[in-house]
Structure 1
Amino acid sequence: MRWPRIAVAASLLAAGAAHAQSSVTLYGIIDTSIVYSNDARKSAANPSAGSASQWQLFAGSIYVPRFGLRGSEDLGGGLSAVFQLENGFNSVNGTFKNGGDLFGRQAWVGLSASKYGTLTLGRQYDFMVTYLTPLSATGSAGFAGNFAMHPYDNDNLNADMRLNNSVKFASAAFHGVKVGAMYAFSNQAGGFSNSNAYSAGISYSLGPINLAAAYLQINRDANSLNPTGALSTADGNALTLGGLQRMYGVGAQYMFGKSSVGLLWTHTSTESPTALWFGGSTGNGPLPGPSNGAGNYIKFDNFEVNGRYFVRPDLSLGASYVYTMSTFNSNTGNAFPHWNQVMAQVDYLLSKRTDVYLEGVYQRVGGGSGIPTFDAGIYTLNPSTGNKQVAVAIGLKHNF
């Protein structure tokens, strides 16, 4: 009788040990606000329909509502199996974001070695997001999130674009230095370089100082888009439609306690552009000129300064200023638009997981040459019919 009891006890201990070595966490964010914008097109895709002020209940003024699963299993010797699945949804009406993809934000699996780093495979973020976004006011790692997005999210710091079919390695920190590289396959027979991509980055942390640099290149055939490649076009994942796209930038941040000051510069370019991203669609309209015209290109340079100050542990003030200058070349005419955008925020923590916020953005555009694509536009709100727009959000955000 003793041996069966010992066997049962041993099996229970083994099961407990195995359970202790594995973990799966359900997490998420719900962010819903009342938003006012002073000049919004009555039809997002048709500027000639006129404009008016707009009040709306809105999901994701700071962070897009999401839920996900992340997990790890200890394989021994400092090695773990890891995964993450993340869905984006609209908290106003319950629908999926990301073109209806179930796990459109992230879907990957990999191996993590504590001494060396993490290798992951799937749909995931490039190193503009991984290393530069934490130094910015915008994006999932920025305190101001979506409303502080650079025009059209042209540099992907707001993380509106993910790379499918990707293999990514991010190193562990070595004397404060982290490096990373990734490659995303086109998955197309006979089209190895038609919508493949690669990215690399480096970050350095020393006490209160954080520095980072990153690069991303997406290779595309503008005359033969590959919707299932590294950059999918069927779910609004592409920031521009067109040919070869490059992004790179550098950033710095200084922390004093929980407060911070940051500086960033990013540069992006797209050859033969035909449309710009605006809310996962071409709501600002396609770019003018012949489609894929010879020599057509658009490029952006973004300069950002941001700061956040904690008046009290539960009350913070934040602000950012972004100057963006662009050059658009077309066979039917050129334009040199430039944006001035100011953001201000007050955030109050009701608890560690719940806060209320007030955030406002003012954007002014010049040099658009009357092209509706270059009208003022803040995040995914209906763009303006002119060169100015103001948006104010008061909202509630809960983390779980």
Structure 2
Amino acid sequence: MLGFLTARQAGLDDPLRLRRAESTRRVLGLKLNPDRDVDRVHGNGINTIDIEAIEGRYMLSGGADGVIVIYDLENCSGKPQYTCKAVCTVGRSSRYVHKFSVETVQWYPYDTGMFVSSSFDKTMKVWDTETLKPAEVFEFEGNVYSHHLSPIARKHSLVAVGTKNPKIQLCDLKSGSRIHVLQGHRAEVLSVRWSPRYEHILATASADSKVKVWDVRRASGSLFTLDQHNGDKSKAASEAVNTAHNGRVNGLCFTGDGLYLLTTGTDDRMRLWNSATGENTLVNYGKVCNESRKRLQFTVSRGCSPEFVFVPCGSSVAVYALHTGELVTMLRGHYNNVDCCEFHPDYQELYSGGKDCNILAWIPVLRASDVEEESNCTNQAAAGQSSVNPAFQDAWSSDED
């Protein structure tokens, strides 16, 4: 790495390619870190986690016990071995705690002073982080499976909410009211996700096997419905028309640039779609085990080349190459099913939570071969030679500046 830095300063290597190559190397080296623990607070399975984007320091978790926990991920001890402490907890003793399972938690994208949670107690709560009291409570007719705030919105402050009711609810944080519904699904809405590229574009997934993409400025319905057969009626003859999966669709995730949308379903399939056209890219990920009856939280890496997908798969986390479908590795460490995982783009780390009540930290490990390669690169840079690591030569040459 020191050799890469020297070559970059000398103008021998492109900084962006260097960053992508190093991010890729770190992701490929993810291992369960024995020196980093996360406080075990939940008394039941962990359904959802989220890392705030402002400092990348604090993590939220929500569990089947209704408890919400805030963790400090920073190593304040200065020692190699440390525990990410739970700094705040909305526990069972709090009068404001959710009565039933917390299904989704999310930081407010622009400020750590606020976060939002939703639950099977048919409520979504907007919390003041300082006081750990809800500033606003939205009540619904059925269980809330998922909610999402846009990470880039400047012209609206809408929260999309998926419930047992097929209608998607749009709640306005400024007015504190539900201002609009999106109609089109015929079963409960299990996952909702705003595009990270266009602030008015929303994707929704339902138990009716369909995924719809909406422009919330339009009142006439969805932009399009994803079709796994790309309009080929002969292939869809024996199946429902315009379905994204042959089962419940319970997972949605945009890539970091918003150009692609990933979906998972109980048909044990994961699909990659062009988010602009709705075209199925036909990437084959093989069998992706998915027995969850509700939302499944999976994530995509950022800043790598190629990008990777991290998907809960039984008691493991499966890591796939995004555009080829290759299974890169299986991260094993949980004692029960994994329900959620979240990627930390600043440090290329992964956190996963499961029914074993544990949150595990997967940290890049520097291999002996990497240390030797860095030593060689340092010597090459000192001699004025290019220090491109051959392991990343192909990836770098395929990058766009």
- TM > 0.5 between the two? no
Higher relative contact order (CA 8 A, sep 6+): 2
TM-score normalised by L of structure 2: 0.31
Q: Which structure is larger by alpha-carbon Rg, 1 or 2?
A: 1
